[in-house]
Structure 1
Amino acid sequence: MIKLYIKCTLLTLFSVLSLQGIAQYSNPELVKKHINYLASDKMKGRGTGSKEVFKAADYIEKYFKTLKLQPLGEKGFRQSFDAKVWKVKVSDSIRKADNIIAFLDNGAPLTIVIGAHYDHLGTGHQGSSKDSLGVGKIHNGADDNASGVAGLLELARYYSTNNLKESYNFLFIAFGAEELGLIGSKYFTEHPTLPLDKITGMLNMDMIGRLNPEQGVAVIGYGTSKKWPEIFEGITPKIKFYTGHDGNGGSDQTSFYKKNIPVLFFHTGGHPDYHMPTDDPEKINYSGLTGIIDFEVMVINNMLKQSEKLEFQFTN
C-alpha cells in the first residue's frame, strides 16, 4: 500500500508539473537575451535616427528571418518614414526611422496584429527624459520598451514554430519613433502594407517588464469589442491582471483604435526608472514578464477558436 501510495503521489506530482510545463509558452532565456542586447549600453538608448536604433532594427529583422516569416514592409521587412523631433530644438530634427514588419500566413481571410515599439530616448537629447540632468546619459529603456520587443519576438517564435495552421494570420510589427508621438504606428495605419479591413484586432506591448505581483498587469482596451469578455472567459494565468475600458492611451494601440480596430494594450505601469537613465535590464521582473507573455498566448489562443471578425466599439 505504501509503495502504491508513493507511486500514485509521484504520478499526480508528475501530472501537475506536466500541466505547468504545458502552460509555459515563453522561453525565459530568450527573453533575457533579447533585453540584454537591446538595452545594453552599446545600444546607447536606441534614439530615433541613431545608428544604434538601426542596429536594433537589424536584430529584429534577422530574428524574423530566422523564423522564416514573410517580409511585409514596403522594402523587404522595412517600412521607412521620416520622424520629427518636436519636443526640443535639435539640429537634426528630421530623422529616418523604420517599422519592421513580418507576416505569418495561415491562409486565413483575417489577421491579428501584434506590436511593440523598439525605439527609446537615446542619450536624452530628443527630450522626454525625466532626469533634469539626463542629457548626455544613456537611457537604456529595458522596460520601455525592450521588454515589449522581447514579448513580440517570443510570440512570433511561438506561433511560427507550433506547427499549427491557425484560424487567423499574424502580422508582427516592431514600431519605430513611438517616443516621438506614436509616429511609426500612425504611419503604418495611414500607409498599411496589409488592408486595415483585414485586421481583426491589435495587441500591443509597452513596458511589460516591471510587474508588481500584487497589482498585476493592466489590459487596456477591454471595451473596444464586445467579444473581449467572452475571449477572456476561462483564462487563468499565473499572474494577476486587471482591465481598462478605453482604447486610447499613450502607446501604439491608439493608432489602430482610431481606425476602428479592436485593441488590447498590456502594460505593467509606471515606476521611478521610467524615462530615466536607470531603466536597466537587471531591474526587469523576468518571471513576471514571461508570465505576461504566457497570458497573452492564452488570450490569442482563445481568439483563434473563432474565425469571424471582432466587432469594434468606441469607448468614449
Structure 2
Amino acid sequence: MTALVRTVLGDVPARELGAVDSHDHLHLRSAQLPGQELDDQAAAAAELGAFRAAGGGTVVQWTPYGLGRRAERLAELSRATGVHVLAATGLHQARHYPPGAVERAGDLARLFVQELTEGLRADDGAPLPVRASLVKVAGSYHGLDAHARTVLAAAAEAHRATGAPIAVHLEQGTAAAEVLALLCDRLAVPPERVVLGHLNRFPDLRLHREAAERGAYLCFDGPSAAHHATDWRLLDALKELVDAGHVRQLLLGGDTTTARARSFGAGGAGPGMPFLLTGLRPRLRRELGEEAAELLFVGNPARAFALPDPD
C-alpha cells in the first residue's frame, strides 16, 4: 500500500515529497519575538520559491495553534510555488502566548483532534478546509513544567485518536529523555511517531545516541545566526549517529523563526530555507555519502510524517 502524507492541498504519496525541510516556519507571531513577526505573505512566497529553485519539494511548518500561522494562506502559498506544505496543530510554551490565550483554547486534546481530522482554525477562530498533519508541542529547559505536561498529554491523546506524529520543541535542545519518558513510557506513544527538535542546540552526543536508541526521530534544525555557536558541530553529531546505525532516524530543518533569518531574496539576512540544499546538502554528501544525504532529505521525512496505515 502506498504511504500518504497530508499536505495543505490534500493527501499525496510520500514518494512525491522530494527534498524536505523538516522543520520551518512560513508564518509566526510570538510575544517572545516582538518586531520579528513572520507575517509577510510575499516574503513567505519568495522564501518558498527560493527553496523550490534550490531543489526543494516540501516544507513542514511547525507553527502551532494561536501563533499567527495564517492557516488560511498556506494552501495559496503551496499552490503558487509548487512546494508541498504540511501544517501543524498543537501548542507552544505558555510564554509565547498573550495572557489568557491558552485558557481560551479550551479542551486541548479535542482542539488538536479537530484540527487533524476536520480542519485548522484561522487566526480569527473560523474553521478552514485545511487539515494539520502533525502536533507541535514543547518541553521546558532541562525538564517539563506543568504546562508542558498538560500539552504533551493532550498531544498523546490526539495521537491515539489519529496516529499523527508529535513534533517536540526541546528548549535549547534539552529534556529529550524526559519527553520520551512521558510520551512513550507513560502515555504509550510509539517512539517512531515522535520527532525531537533542536538537538543541534545541545550537542551532547551521548544524549543524542540515547534518544535515537529509543527509536525517535532526531531533527537537527538551523543553522542560523542565533545558534551559530553549535553550527560547526552539526556534521560531527550527524556522523556520530550515522556511524552508530541511526541514519534512518535523522531529519534536517531550517527553523526560520524571524524575518531577519529569511534568505536574502526574501528580504532577510540569511541563511533561510534554501541554504539547507545549497550549503548543507553538498557537505553532507561529501561527509556522509550520497545515500545518507538522500535519506536525511527525502526518505526519512517521507516516513516520519506519513499518515498511519489504515487498519
The normalised TM-score by structure 2 is 0.31
Name the one with the larger helix percent.
2
From the CA coordinates, give the structure whose radius of gyration is larger: 1
The normalised TM-score by structure 1 is 0.30
